[in-house]
Chains A and B, each alone.
Chain A
Amino acid sequence: MSEDYAPMWKSLGMDLNAHDALLGVLEQGYRDIYLAQKNRPEGMGYFDFVMSEVHGLRIKELLDEKKQNRKIIGSYCVFVPEEIVLAGGATLVGLCSGADFAVEEVEKYLPRNTCSLIKSSFGFKLGRVCPYLESADMIVGENTCDGKKKAYETFAGMVDNLYVMDLPQVKSSQGRALLKEEFERFKTAVEELTGNKITVEALKEGVKVVNAKRAALHRLAILRKADPAPISGLDALLANQVFFYDNPARFTESVNKICDELEVRIKENQGAFPLKTPRILISGCPMAVPNWKLPWIIETSGAVIVGEESCVGERGSRNLTDDSGQSMDELMEAITDRYFKVDCAIFTPNRDRSDHIVEMAKAYGANGVIHYGLQFCQPYIMESIPVENTLEDLGMPCMRIETDYGMEDVGQLKTRVEAFIEQISD
């Protein structure tokens, strides 16, 4: 495949050798982690294809869209409202941040004790290996954690199209007002970028498309309540990851197709894992492609993941946007309402997140929760202690893991995960 797309990547100014090496690692990882799984739903074939073409065909599609004068907007966060992007006639894509790359180069710009996710986003830029980033007409940064906030100040010097969105940190009326204002400002920025005036009809359509995408993930999530679990956590995570890259309508259709298949599986008592396999809920930091380390360890140690309380997961996709509004202001209010409910750890206090973890653990029949914190991710690691206490007070076992994208701690993690599975399944 590198043969066919090389001219395209070159036209994007990418480093072909480094990119080939990256794709080699990605392919190998995908084979070892994904294709090695047993009892996968047939519908996952679509996602296997998407992954095999993640820097190929999908980029070609985006470049074709660009030729038709459609703009591409890249983002690193679930607070960037896709509804508005679509309404402006642009396409939203998630940008690469799930693997270590050009670490030495990155550490010229960022302190060593920066989380892997932020470092990765820099690594993909500095190494010129993210075709999404290089295709984007506008890159949206956002003031979430301190690490990202400050990193965007430096990142602004590396790209010429960074737009930074401010975000509230308190769920107060002032906080909500700030979010609303920022969404209005973003709407204007999208209009300026695309030259399209966003109309009520277009925004309603944007809401509809994004709601359908989320609804498909909600349907998938509900099916995972079954025992035996009809789909592995790895495969469900992949669907949640591809959510950020794929054409929205095609994604929705593909996830719904898998759901149809899973419904049949459930009726026939078929599963990706045997009945009574210990069930784990993962909660914490987002896992961007190809960050599959912890789920892979868990699901090769005798447990199945039944939910992700994560931005790449239920925290990011929970709640639809109310589409009943008839005016621009009503729709913008509805969009603000929907995003203001996202319980990211940058908010203080953030009781909703803790409640959601408990609710999810119960709803999905989890036997235990593994809290996943990226090393140096202060907001989530800080929250992990009260989360653990809350869960344990309710009799729900919880283990806190702190790790990064490196593989050198896999042995240690495997021992801890296996011991946790022994603990919850005895």
Chain B
Amino acid sequence: MIYAGIDIGSRSIELVLVENEKVIETRQTDTGFDPISQAKKVMKGVNFDQIMATGYGRNLFEVAYDNASTVTEIKAHAAGVRLEFPEALAILDIGGQDSKSIRLNDQGRVVKFEMNDRCAAGTGKFLEIMAHNLGFSLDEFGPAALAVQKDLQINSMCTVFAESEVTSLIAKGQDRQEIARGLHLSVVKRAVGMLNRVGAQGPIVFSGGVAQNPCMVQMMADALGKEVLVPDNPQMMGALGAAMIMAKKE
């Protein structure tokens, strides 16, 4: 049996196929403006027996696609992460539109989680907008921030207010890499707060697209004073977990 997991996030869609507990294919595309046709595009030409959807588009997908089941991002990330890190007890997931911290028990069950509410503060979208404002590509942003020592303090967590704060720092002639580092630190502080609220124990597994940012990983480890583990493909954790949950359900 081949099980598929599809994670329809706000920024990207991931598809993972699993057979005999092994990943046999991964695919990714942008979510764009029409998540369902993008999802169908990413599924083109792949064969599977059962599919489970996660991510904010999961319910849309369930309606559009017969015989699909759904699971929340929280449970899906937990299942995906445990496949790669079977001992993990704490997960930080920062995606495009939301961020969450999850505490697991020894069996890998979710015992507590926190999610940002209605705004995009402290998410991938926040970093993306700020990178753009400072003239960095998303790939350059983390390394550029990591390359300097000093971080300028950014007080606003709100994307809109942080934007004007950044504008005024630029106008003062501040170094854009130091501003970038300050922005990273503001996201890190928020994430640490979320992890503390769930009582995270042991090493933290960092998943979601933002885990690809080396500065975020480094600063998280520094702020927590503990190990931060990043899966090989952090963006795939939701889709992988969904596929694994589907496989176990059968």
Contacts and interface: CB of A to CB of B under 8 A. Distances in A.
Given A422-B110, A423-B111, A415 B56 contact: yes
B118 A423 contact: no
A418 interface: yes
B72 A419 contact: yes
A415 B117 contact: no
Interface string A405-426: 0001101101110110011001
B74 A412 contact: no
Nearest to B113: A419
A384 B11 CA distance: 33
B115 interface: yes
A392 B115 CA distance: 18
A156 B33 CA distance: 50
Contacts of A403: 117
Interface in A342-366: none
Nearest to B54: A415
Question: Looking at A392, A402, A411, A416, which has the most chain B CB atoms within 10 Å of its CB?
Answer: A416
Nearest to A415: B72
Nearest to A423: B110
B150 to A, nearest CB: 35
A390 to B, nearest CB: 15
A29 B13 CA distance: 33
B249 to A, nearest CB: 12
B113 A423 contact: yes
B240 interface: no
Interface residues of A, number: 16
Max count, chain A CB within 10 A of own CB: residue among B72, B112, B117: B72
Contact of B75 (A397, A411, A419): A419
B73 interface: yes
Interface in A368-423: 392, 397, 402-403, 408-409, 411-412, 414-416, 418-419, 422-423
B200 interface: no
Interface string A263-291: 00000000000000000000000000000
A415 B115 contact: yes
A3 to B, nearest CB: 38
A385 to B, nearest CB: 10
A403 B111 CA distance: 23
B52 to A, nearest CB: 13
B118 A422 contact: no
Contacts of B110: 419, 422-423, 426
Nearest to B118: A409
B27 to A, nearest CB: 23
A419 B118 contact: no
B98 interface: yes
Contacts of B118: 408-409, 412
Contacts of B115: 412, 415-416, 419
B75 A422 contact: yes
Contacts of B75: 419, 422-423
B51 interface: no
Contacts of A419: 72-75, 110, 113, 115
A422 B117 contact: no
6 contacts: A408-B118, A415-B73, A419-B75, A419-B110, A419-B115, A423-B75
Given A415-B73, A415-B74, A423-B74, 10 more contacts: A397-B111, A397-B112, A403-B117, A412-B117, A419-B74, A419-B110, A422-B71, A423-B111, A423-B113, A426-B109
Interface of A: 392, 397, 402-403, 408-409, 411-412, 414-416, 418-419, 422-423, 426
